[in-house]
Chain A
């Protein structure tokens, strides 16, 4: 199975282009077009010029070339293409989503489910059910997955597809979720805890699961994902609505500016007695060139494409609103563990007690950790090997007796017999928290030296965890266990700060440790000893101050905070509650995904702004093309405004409308891909984009229209 986000798919995949071309025509339905006021006006203009064309064919045209059927027909054709190109852009953006939806749909096929009858299995354990065919016959119904309803319970065994979204009630299994995540490595799912959610359409590879269904057919995660990528439930986002209002306003202004040209020019003809009033075709052409067709035609494509880019990053947003909000976020709440630091603390240093060599401490620490399978323990063994060449011996070879960690002793270590013959003696090696080891050595008649106590405090102050090592009554020293901050994060956070985003680290550590790690990672702030309530309170407080907050979460206890945050990314590996509360799901369950999401949101808004600016800036050149062409018969001196020296009024008008149509096609890749985003402070971004899209928008059309005019003249038109 390929990943649903086949990022390898080219921008102009022929299959998508074919479908999009067909959809472009289908979208001409005026009832659809009216949702986009700018393009609706163009469609009305196209219809109107078509009518003028047929009229010109029938009636013998009087007046100049501006009312000849060929000219009117050509303008009309250009206007139709303008509408079609805009529809095509939207269809292209949707097509990419549709192709992904088709892939997903394959995962949503009807499967057989083994549903437990109500009240079952009664006295029988699930394990017994799995083992015995007869018992299964007795307690399970064979139903189709579409017949499953909320709170039904189903048994899924190895090799079967999970029939619906659900929560595991019993069992542990490895599950292949590649249909959803594109990740081929199986994941472990088990009842209880934060890894208890399963998704319909994924496959159980080993063992079995008893799943309680949590979604009715049609409301499953897969269904939501499909409707999301297909854009079936796409609503306009707040920013899109605002932009639409601006575009509609501009359209009305230009509509008035062009419609009134007719009486103005009739008046001019009346008072001068020269020439003829401006033709209706030219007026419609002027109107279509002036209204912001470029952004009007590409606006919805930009929005859909933004969502598409998110899906390519393996993130499913439940609404376009969330994507937009991601661009506005200015506070990121990041979990320390997994996001800022590697999940585990690691030993980085041995600090011997007075009178003890570092080597001796390393040896003792290594021995004490031999049977410790935690990552911390293994890191001590590894450090001793790397730093002091302490060979790793196995506990069996030494005949060591493991002393496991318990909540009561809060220590671990080994007991072993060392030495030969009569010199053989029992070595009791322990490592643990300072107070626990202190108790241990006091029981053996020793004590914790003041120097070691000072070292313990020093290590804690630096944000690391001190582990005291003792042998019998003697304290050997301290091992420094440290959170390792992921490389490159400091730079990433500095970058975020430059674009105005504050990072807040959330951790359960004490304030001292938290402060030290926060300083090392370069985050702006931290919340120590964080409880779910404290997290929620922090988000509320930030929002109260006007900030927009984004966070990632996976556990059920994250759900309230996720629900409160403006952008809440739930890990796909997380619980159902977390996924319900968030407005995005990260299929990769990557803690640093938030940073990419913010970039995608910003890029979406920037693309909209850039193309709006470009579209409006284009108008200047079009005036210079059409105004002289329209009025030169009445006032020949207005020919002086023809700065591009276009060959004739006919070729001038045609060049302008052709440019207007082609620019939409030319900008489709930009709309789908989004404009280039490099993190920079707002003034820098503004200056750059204004230069490229503002000034570029003013300048670019002049040579283009001139070239089109030359081409038309060469073809003998005009």
Chain B
């Protein structure tokens, strides 16, 4: 690891915290309806939405109604995306004249974008018409993110309200998330990206002549274009990650410069990190929010450094061939396969961990080409349940569920029925928390097992052996935890993968939302237990350590056998002296 890499990681984290704190405070005001400045500016839009949809802003919902609203809204969204894909051939806004998308890919994509996963079983510029991208995928990028934020706010209300039945209004939370947070931030980011050269046009393509090929004109290249900047902005801010182009953030039209790279990196983690601060403000104890944020950092930073280190160290196979992999002024050194030269090792590794820590899934380098350990970190970050930052809203509500688990185990050790933020944690909460932990893990393990057994799961493999296994494991980890990034090397547009991953995305997102909202409902109805010296404090280093231990232990214990057969075996085999190729 070089000093330069460390500096870049440190700078990134410092900027992230610097931006997250004020944004978090602002969002808390948004959800309590006290962001007066923003309401003066955007109130007409918020009220307009309510009037258009016939929503009464002061209506409160029980957890069941809240959950029903979430599900119905998302179902309708998915149906629209499905229809747009199937009908894009006959609809306008299709300058490249692309045909209808196949049913299984349409199904997969509809769920993928509604569930904030943005797993892409297709190549953007060659499959999706501009209208589909903008009206279908672009819209879902906003509302799926806003859905996650709304569910989080409902859970926080469950924790703060005492003896209450209602969790607030989904429509209001959804609208406020979109109008006051996602829209303005995307607007700012899109403008910044355009200034750096990210494309934003309705034209289908541009023609370029390369200098290669001799003669006067060189080789003619047709470069796909489109309204990319607007979509890129929200795909990062909303932890969606679905690229406009197939190459995602490695594509020069999506992510042309180191500055856009930094901005997009910040955008990936900004809202998830800021929501921790929002949480602290909403529960009226900022330390609670910082404790959760600290726990995320404690997991994130070492894992990032592992990836940076593993990538910088290069591969033993090349070392055996006498290739110099040490960094120098002229060479990045390390494992540069699958990485963009304009980003280098540190920014590619940092992106890989950020995009998988958050459930973003956009990539600026090919994770498939990472070293086994460097690739294992993004894989494991997803398997942890997308709670280290995680998706906007969904990451924090997942982490809060883990906090509840941690409190339950540790709380007993202080001789009291465990409490989190003054709410007693009892059988029902534990049941829901177990579901939240269990379901994605079950989806990953069972999906991977099925793919290992079925010929349809084996055949699209790009690589044999441990690496092929990692590719399958990665695909299901990404889908079930709603990340959406792809390891690559696996052809996922076939019926088996498109359907199987579509299903795990569905379960991983919506069953969890139901469980979380049910828990929120149960918590809201409980009375607050006043804190005393006998109460387990849920801020401070001790609790942070405990939370980290629970997250890491559950994640490790669940996936160690699978990881052992994938990246761990690959790493150990590659580094075993006798195994090195001549």
State whether B565 touches A327 (Cβ < 8 A). no
Q: Does B561 contact A (CB under 8 A)?
A: yes
Residue of B413, B416, B449, B568 touching A260 (CB-CB under 8 A)? B449
Q: Complex formed: what's the CA distance from A554 to B379 in Å?
A: 64
Q: Does B296 contact A (CB under 8 A)?
A: no
Q: Does B286 contact A (CB under 8 A)?
A: no
**Which residues does chain A contribute within 8 Å of B565, judged by CB atoms?**
261, 264-265, 268, 631, 634-635
Q: Complex formed: what's the CA distance from A606 to B449 in Å?
A: 39
Chain B, 513-555, CB within 8 A of any chain A CB: 527-530, 532-537, 540, 542, 546, 549, 553-554
State whether A263 touches B416 (Cβ < 8 A). no
Distance in angstroms from B116 CB to nearest chain A CB is: 24
Residue of B458, B529, B558, B568 touching A253 (CB-CB under 8 A)? B558
Query: Mask for A610-637, Cβ within 8 A of B = 1, else 0?
Result: 1011001101100100010011001111
Q: Complex formed: what's the CA distance from A272 to B576 in Å?
A: 16
**Which residues does chain B contribute within 8 Å of A612, judged by CB atoms?**
409, 412
Q: Chain A: which residue is nearest B566 at the CB level? A: A264
State whether B553 touches A616 (Cβ < 8 A). yes
Q: Chain A: which residue is nearest B417 at the CB level? A: A328
Q: Complex formed: what's the CA distance from A248 to B449 in Å?
A: 22
State whether B441 touches A682 (Cβ < 8 A). no
Q: Does B90 contact A (CB under 8 A)?
A: no
Q: Does A498 contact B (CB under 8 A)?
A: yes
Q: Complex formed: what's the CA distance from A630 to B560 in Å?
A: 13
State whether A627 touches B561 (Cβ < 8 A). yes
Q: Chain B: which residue is nearest A675 at the CB level? A: B413
Interface-facing stretch out of B63-71, B129-137, B357-365, B419-427: B419-427
Q: Does B453 contact A (CB under 8 A)?
A: yes
Distance in angstroms from B500 CB to nearest chain A CB is: 14
Query: Mask for A227-243, Cβ within 8 A of B = 1, else 0?
Result: 00000000000110111
- Given the interface pairs A257-B559, A271-B465, A638-B564, the reply to whether A608 lies near B453 with Cβ below 8 Å is no
Chain A, 674-708, CB within 8 A of any chain B CB: 677, 681-683, 685-687, 689-690, 693-694
Q: Does B188 contact A (CB under 8 A)?
A: no
Chain B, 377-430, CB within 8 A of any chain A CB: 405, 408-417, 422, 425-427, 429-430
Chain B count of residues within 8 A CB distance of the other chain: 71
State whether B572 touches A256 (Cβ < 8 A). no
**Which residues does chain A contribute within 8 Å of B469, judged by CB atoms?**
264, 267-268, 271
Q: Complex formed: what's the CA distance from A327 to B415 in Å?
A: 6
Q: Does A330 contact B (CB under 8 A)?
A: yes
State whether B413 touches A324 (Cβ < 8 A). no
Interface-facing stretch out of A192-200, A418-426, A597-605: A597-605
State whether B446 touches A256 (Cβ < 8 A). yes
State whether B410 touches A242 (Cβ < 8 A). no
Q: Chain A: which residue is nearest B571 at the CB level? A: A637
State whether B542 touches A601 (Cβ < 8 A). no
Q: Does A545 contact B (CB under 8 A)?
A: yes
Q: Chain A: which residue is nearest B468 at the CB level? A: A271
Q: Complex formed: what's the CA distance from A239 to B408 in Å?
A: 10
State whether B416 touches A498 (Cβ < 8 A). no
- Given the interface pairs A546-B527, A638-B569, the reply to whether A685 lies near B532 with Cβ below 8 Å is no
Residue of B431, B442, B559 touching A245 (CB-CB under 8 A)? B431
Q: Does B53 contact A (CB under 8 A)?
A: no
Q: Complex formed: what's the CA distance from A631 to B566 in Å?
A: 11
**Which residues does chain A contribute within 8 Å of B557, judged by CB atoms?**
253-254, 257, 290, 616, 619-620, 623
State whether A638 touches B568 (Cβ < 8 A). yes
State whether A330 touches B445 (Cβ < 8 A). no
Interface-facing stretch out of A91-99, A122-130, A499-507: A499-507
State whether A605 touches B417 (Cβ < 8 A). yes
- Given the interface pairs A254-B557, A499-B534, the reply to whether A249 lies near B540 with Cβ below 8 Å is no
Q: Complex formed: what's the CA distance from A603 to B416 in Å?
A: 9
Q: Does A593 contact B (CB under 8 A)?
A: no
**Which residues does chain A contribute within 8 Å of B323, judged by CB atoms?**
none
Q: Does B438 contact A (CB under 8 A)?
A: yes
**Which residues does chain A contribute within 8 Å of B162, judged by CB atoms?**
546
Residue of A246, A603, A693 touching B430 (CB-CB under 8 A)? A246
Q: Chain B: which residue is nearest A607 at the CB level? A: B412
State whether A681 touches B533 (Cβ < 8 A). yes
Residue of A500, A634, A640, A693 touching B535 (CB-CB under 8 A)? A500
State whether A500 touches B560 (Cβ < 8 A). no
State whether A694 touches B549 (Cβ < 8 A). yes
Q: Chain A: which residue is nearest B576 at the CB level? A: A637
Q: Complex formed: what's the CA distance from A368 to B576 in Å?
A: 102
State whether A327 touches B417 (Cβ < 8 A). yes
Q: Complex formed: what's the CA distance from A248 to B437 in Å?
A: 12
Residue of A253, A547, A636 touching B438 (CB-CB under 8 A)? A253
**Which residues does chain A contribute within 8 Å of B417, judged by CB atoms?**
238-239, 324, 327-328, 605
**Which residues does chain A contribute within 8 Å of B569, judged by CB atoms?**
268, 631, 635, 637-638
Q: Complex formed: what's the CA distance from A704 to B215 in Å?
A: 76
**Which residues does chain A contribute within 8 Å of B414, judged by CB atoms?**
606, 609, 682, 685-686, 689
Q: Does B213 contact A (CB under 8 A)?
A: no
State whether B533 touches A637 (Cβ < 8 A). no
Residue of A330, A613, A690, A693 touching B532 (CB-CB under 8 A)? A330
Q: Does B2 contact A (CB under 8 A)?
A: no
Residue of B412, B438, B553 touching A606 (CB-CB under 8 A)? B412
Q: Does B464 contact A (CB under 8 A)?
A: yes
Residue of B528, B534, B562 touching A682 (CB-CB under 8 A)? B534
Chain A, 495-540, CB within 8 A of any chain B CB: 497-502
State whether B448 touches A609 (Cβ < 8 A). no
Residue of A248, A249, A259, A677 touching B415 (CB-CB under 8 A)? A677
- Given the interface pairs A242-B425, A249-B438, the reply to whether A683 lies near B540 with Cβ below 8 Å is yes
Distance in angstroms from A241 CB to nearest chain B CB is: 5
Distance in angstroms from B298 CB to nearest chain A CB is: 16
**Which residues does chain B contribute within 8 Å of A258, judged by CB atoms?**
561
Among B433, B441, B449: residue with most chain A CB under 10 A: B449
Q: Does B579 contact A (CB under 8 A)?
A: yes
Q: Complex formed: what's the CA distance from A601 to B579 in Å?
A: 59
Q: Does A395 contact B (CB under 8 A)?
A: no
Q: Does B257 contact A (CB under 8 A)?
A: no
State whether A686 touches B576 (Cβ < 8 A). no
- Given the interface pairs A264-B452, A290-B557, A638-B572, the reply to whether A613 lies near B564 with Cβ below 8 Å is no
Residue of A241, A601, A630, A686 touching B413 (CB-CB under 8 A)? A686
Q: Does B466 contact A (CB under 8 A)?
A: yes
Q: Complex formed: what's the CA distance from A246 to B532 in Å?
A: 26
Residue of A248, A264, A500, A620 touching B434 (CB-CB under 8 A)? A248
Residue of B416, B529, B556, B561 touching A546 (CB-CB under 8 A)? B529
Q: Complex formed: what's the CA distance from A683 to B405 in Å?
A: 17
Q: Complex formed: what's the CA distance from A248 to B431 in Å?
A: 10
Q: Complex formed: what's the CA distance from A677 to B413 in Å?
A: 10
Residue of A271, A500, A638, A686 touching B410 (CB-CB under 8 A)? A686
State whether A241 touches B427 (Cβ < 8 A). yes
| A and B contact pairs by CB, cutoff 8 A, 9 listed | A246-B408, A253-B441, A257-B441, A264-B448, A501-B534, A606-B414, A620-B553, A641-B572, A690-B546
Binding site for A on B (CB under 8 A): 162, 405, 408-417, 422, 425-427, 429-431, 433-435, 437-438, 441-442, 445-446, 448-450, 452-453, 458, 464-466, 468-469, 527-530, 532-537, 540, 542, 546, 549, 553-554, 556-562, 564-565, 568-569, 572-573, 575-576, 579
Which 10 pairs from chain A and chain B are nearest by CB? Answer: A500-B534, A609-B412, A602-B415, A249-B434, A500-B532, A609-B413, A500-B533, A637-B572, A267-B452, A689-B413
Binding site for B on A (CB under 8 A): 238-239, 241-243, 245-246, 248-249, 252-254, 256-268, 271-272, 286, 290, 324, 327-328, 330, 497-502, 544-547, 601-603, 605-606, 608-610, 612-613, 616-617, 619-620, 623, 627, 630-631, 634-638, 640-641, 677, 681-683, 685-687, 689-690, 693-694
Question: A263-B450, A609-B413 are known contacts; what are 15 more A-B pairs with Cβ within 8 Å?
Answer: A242-B427, A257-B561, A263-B452, A264-B449, A264-B561, A266-B452, A330-B530, A501-B532, A605-B415, A605-B416, A612-B409, A616-B553, A631-B569, A637-B575, A682-B414
